[in-house]
Chains A and B, each alone.
Chain A
């Protein structure tokens, strides 16, 4: 059971406002790049390195933009995302959890495509791949572009939101015809 939309919307709006007033607008998807950098740097030495001037950089021009964050993950943006996970986990636990069946897969998925776990996991993996590739191409996701962007009257936020719903609605209408 979700929170009533009026309370939920007020809470969401206050969180976005507080983030902008005290620090900066909310964003999530860049931290997938930072996490990738941390993983790559742990596997292969020298993915990021320091210049003679002491600046962190990388031979990959895109990763170089996040090199400083990869070198020191204890920064606002990365901890924000970790705290978000903690907050969501705690909130779910406090309302009694989501139940064993939902932990396995969402009810609407099961109603449309059956209970085979690996089919759902495979699609979730593919969805994650597409979404994060797309979010980096667009330089933002639902949090950064749509919510933070549109609430600051950013033109890019509206372009992004138009693109998202133009494909999301027909895709969902085609794929998820059966209710749970």
Chain B
């Protein structure tokens, strides 16, 4: 019951934030990827940085249970999947989460995106064994690896001598610094209004 309540509250907040930062608006995505407006990039970098700082300082002071961390395995398919996803994202303007949010906000094209997504996930369900046999899913760089060594978990570390929480906070600070350093309009001037037709 608690889990269900948490799913509703956190999920709902996540959807509302994605809508308000413009992540589910393809115009904002295309303006970002063509360097016309980097507001969303600054938002995402700051979001990752703030989350990293809170997660790792939370671990230092005992507020965050390291058991809640979930590190995904590194393998070649992560890179190939990323390359492919980047193409599909730029083409359509939607990610899996933002496509769903966009449909909920009333975008008709996002409904077709979701249908395509269901078909694409289905195609992967049928071809997973092939990718596995081809070795594309075999772990690289230690598999479930993190930058530093995280106490209390046995994740392999890229830099074994560096404490994971300190590495995490420094990483977070770096993301925040990049978020502040990036210009809003790298191509100069730009439009005064952030998003068309809203």
The residues of A with any CB-CB pair to B shorter than 8 Å are: 1-3, 5-6, 8-26, 28-29, 32-33, 35-36, 39-40, 60-63, 74-77, 79-93, 95, 97-99, 101-109, 117, 120-157, 159-169, 171-173, 175-177, 179-180
Residues of B close to A99: CB separation below 8 A: 197-198
Beyond A1-B194, A160-B82, A169-B34, 13 additional contacts (C-beta under 8 Å) are A21-B58, A32-B121, A84-B101, A85-B101, A102-B197, A131-B84, A131-B89, A132-B119, A133-B124, A162-B79, A171-B33, A172-B29, A173-B33
Rounded to whole Å, the gap between the CB of B110 and the closest CB of chain A is: 7
The answer to whether A139 and B77 touch across the interface, beta carbons within 8 angstroms, is yes
Expressed in whole angstroms, the Cα–Cα distance for A10 and B33 within the complex equals 22
Residues of B close to A61: CB separation below 8 A: 128-129
The answer to whether A85 and B95 touch across the interface, beta carbons within 8 angstroms, is no
Q: Which of chain B's residues has its CB closest to A179's CB?
A: B36
Expressed in whole angstroms, the Cα–Cα distance for A48 and B171 within the complex equals 43
| Total A-B Cβ pairs within 8 A | 527
Residues of B close to A83: CB separation below 8 A: 7-12, 14-15
Known: A108-B30, A124-B116, A159-B79. A153 touches B92 (CB 8 A): no
- Which of B51, B102, B193 sits near A17, CB closer than 8 Å? B51
Known: A131-B92, A141-B96. A2 touches B86 (CB 8 A): no
Rounded to whole Å, the gap between the CB of B26 and the closest CB of chain A is: 4
Interface centre among A76, A131, A133 (most CB of B within 10 A): A131
Expressed in whole angstroms, the Cα–Cα distance for A97 and B58 within the complex equals 37
The answer to whether A126 and B92 touch across the interface, beta carbons within 8 angstroms, is yes
- Which of A24, A62, A172 sits near B125, CB closer than 8 Å? A62
Interface residues of B in 78-92 (CB under 8 A from A): 78-92
In the A-B complex, the 7 residue pairs with the closest CB atoms? A163-B82, A127-B92, A9-B46, A13-B50, A138-B81, A128-B116, A83-B11
The residues of B with any CB-CB pair to A shorter than 8 Å are: 3-4, 6-22, 24-31, 33-34, 36, 39-40, 42-56, 58, 63-65, 68-75, 77-110, 112-126, 128-129, 131, 136, 141-142, 144-148, 158, 164, 167-168, 171-172, 175, 179, 184, 191, 193-198
Of the A-B pairs whose beta carbons lie under 8 Å apart in the complex, a sample of 14, sorted by A's number, is A9-B43, A12-B47, A19-B10, A25-B70, A39-B118, A108-B30, A126-B116, A128-B115, A131-B99, A132-B124, A138-B79, A154-B144, A155-B74, A172-B29
The answer to whether A81 and B109 touch across the interface, beta carbons within 8 angstroms, is no
Residues of B close to A3: CB separation below 8 A: 20-22, 43
Residues of B close to A135: CB separation below 8 A: 81, 85, 96, 121
Expressed in whole angstroms, the Cα–Cα distance for A3 and B116 within the complex equals 29
Residues of A close to B158: CB separation below 8 A: 155
Q: Which of chain B's residues has its CB closest to A118's CB?
A: B112
The answer to whether A130 and B91 touch across the interface, beta carbons within 8 angstroms, is yes
- Which of B51, B100, B115, B121 sits near A16, CB closer than 8 Å? B51
